[in-house]
Amino acid sequence: AQSVTQLGSHVSVSEGALVLLRCNYSSSVPPYLFWYVQYPNQGLQLLLKYTSAATLVKGINGFEAEFKKSETSFHLTKPSAHMSDAAEYFCAVSEKDSNYQLIWGAGTKLIIKP
Amino acid sequence: SQTIHQWPATLVQPVGSPLSLECTVEGTSNPNLYWYRQAAGRGLQLLFYSVGIGQISSEVPQNLSASRPQDRQFILSSKKLLLSDSGFYLCAWSTLAGSPNYGYTFGSGTRLTVV
């Protein structure tokens, strides 16, 4: 069955440090992969998506993610964290076998230390 | 450009009262429409989705219902709210998978508190 695993419900980094949020998925076919960000009491905003084009995907706010088929991973990174990056981040996958419904990870809350 | 509107932003309702949340999409036609719920400290749960007018699929049995009276309008309803219906409700739309701009766009959400 399809699933998405986000390692770490909370990740804490210092301002200016590298941000790495991990996402692993299970899928038997090439999937679509998404990263969304949610600020408190707001909807979800698309950060970036993988749709079988380039494996390194650049998104908004300086984030990027790399699709690694061999590792079934789609980790989100940002070279230098800003205080404004504090939010919850969700990884999601959709594929033909699930009728392209989004399968969500549980989310990772990113905490930025000054 | 496409936009999605969801209202109200916040709602406090007594147990047993009815509910109606509305979502409209502009700038696209025949979108797939979705209602999600996000309970406190938990991930997103798909409640309903619709691929066309009058076509509603339910993912979770509950006392909620959804309707799609027009192509770009999606309504979430309840006849009698329960305390457990409290949460953050999100409407979303998507294009068809495989289309050039495939993806999901979310509304700003409704914070529902049942008291």
- What is the tens place of the pLDDT at every residue in B51-68? 999 999 988 867 999 999
Alpha carbons B29 and A61: distance in angstroms, whole number:
29
Q: Is A83 helix (H, G, I), strand (E, B) or coil?
A: helix
Instruction: Tell me the chain A residues in contact with residue B105 when contact means C-beta distances shorter than 8 Å.
Output: 46
The better pLDDT of the pair A102, B15 is held by: B15
Tens of pLDDT, residue by residue, chain A (114 residues): 678 999 999 999 999 999 999 999 987 777 899 999 999 888 899 999 998 778 899 999 999 999 998 999 999 999 999 999 999 999 999 877 777 788 899 999 999 999
Please, which pLDDT band fits residue B25 given cuts at 50, 70 and 90? very high
B106: which 2 tokens? 């979310």
pLDDT at B61: 67
* Rounded distance between C-alpha atoms, residue B78 and residue B68, angstroms: 15
Whether B46 has its CB under 8 Å from any CB of chain A: the answer is yes
List the single best residue of A100, A103, A108, A109 to mutate versus B (max B Cβ within 10 A). A100
8 A C-beta contact, residue A23 and residue A4: yes
Q: Burial, A89: exposed, middle or buried (Cβ in 10 Å; 0-12, 13-18, 19+)?
A: buried
Q: Look at residue A79 in the predicted model and tell me its pLDDT.
A: 97
